Amino acid sequence: MTSSLSLTRRGALGTLAALGAASAFAQASSTVRIGYQKSSTLIVVLKTQGTLERQLAPLGVKPSWHEFTSGLPLLEALNLDNLDFSADVADTVPVFAQAAGAKLTFVAQEAPSPAAQAIVVKAESPLKSVADLKGRKVGFAKAAGAHYLLIAALEQAGLSLKDIEPAYLTPADGRAAFEKGAIDAWVVWDPFLSAAQRQSQVRVLADGTGIASYQRYYLAATRFAQARPEVLNVIYAELEKAGRWVKQSPKDAAALLAPVWGIDAATVEQANGRRSYAVRPAVAEGLREQQRIADAFFAEKLLPRKINALDIDLFKPGAHA
């Protein structure tokens, strides 16, 4: 498969064909299939409040909801046309989708939240720094923001992934392995990070501050973005509102999310305090770190090919109102 090219670089015939297919798709589509994960805070808020059901009804569209354990399988589902829209995934995940030739459109991004992911060890661990991870078993989710944080932190300490024993684990499996001592360190993001900090005795070896900015992106299948831009405009507007509400009403937001996540409200509030939730359009200037991420994964032979991280489709909110 080949990677998706920007509309300005497609030939005229290809563009006309794509628009024709999009038109037919638009007429047939009455559902927007939304994928999300536990850390997709703003989408979980909209789902819990029934906001998109109400706001999309005038367009004759209903959302259907599909939960995933982490970002990589979420974008794989989007690429396979099993989803139309992806709630926020870490900045690392899209580069894997691009390398696989996925035809995805960046709809929005959240401003950086570097402290919302970290490398942690148990409080009594003899490990005192990232350099001490050499030869140790470290758990993390493949292609997640935590994966890049580990690569970048190891590089800063003069090490690489070859110097540790990696264990690819979902957040739930990572927590279990961490608690029973099956891994020496765990790299994870909020709200799982806050839950571990509040429920267990842990120490942070490093978070993303000065290492990895940890931006999160909202994406759509390009076919859907071309066919139903008015649906994406509604979703974008509601994400912006939800982001402002979570930051302006932290206790109310925590009270709403706690029973949904199965986490106490204080932990939710701590986790939300480290995320920016500042939703904004995805623009090329804001995607510069994507190339560093892609190059880092390619250098570790984790990407099948080198990519141009900026060779992507960008959605312009409001342009198709």
Regions of the chain with pLDDT less than 70: 1-29, 320-321
Tokens of 76: 């794989």
Query: For residue range 165-199, what is the model confidence (pLDDT) as tens digits?
Result: 999 999 999 999 999 999 999 999 999 999 999 99
Which pLDDT does position 320 carry in this prediction? 58
- pLDDT score at 286: 78
Domains within the chain, CATH numbers bracketed: 7-112+215-314 (3.40.190.10), 114-207 (3.40.190.10)
pLDDT digits (tens, 9 = 90+) for 191-225: 999 999 999 999 999 999 999 999 999 999 999 99
Which residues touch 86 (CB under 8 Å, ≥6 apart)? Answer: 34, 35, 36, 74, 75, 78, 104, 218, 219, 220
List, in order, residues 6 or more apart from 149 with CB less than 8 Å away: 117, 118, 119, 187, 206, 207, 208, 211, 212, 214
**pLDDT number for residue 15:** 31
Measured distance CA(309)–CA(288) in Å, rounded: 8
Distance of CA 4 to the CA centre of its chain: 19
The structure's pTM equals: 0.84
Q: What is the pLDDT of residue 70?
A: 86
Measuring CA to CA, which residue among 290, 99, 277 is closest to residue 191?
Answer: 277
Given this model, what pLDDT does residue 318 score? 82
Query: What distance in Å separates the CA atoms of residue 239 and residue 118, rounded to the nearest whole number?
Result: 25
The partner residues of 87 in beta bridges, in order of sequence, read: none
**In the prediction, which pLDDT does 159 show?**
97
Residue 191: is the preceding peptide bond cis (ω within 30°)?
yes
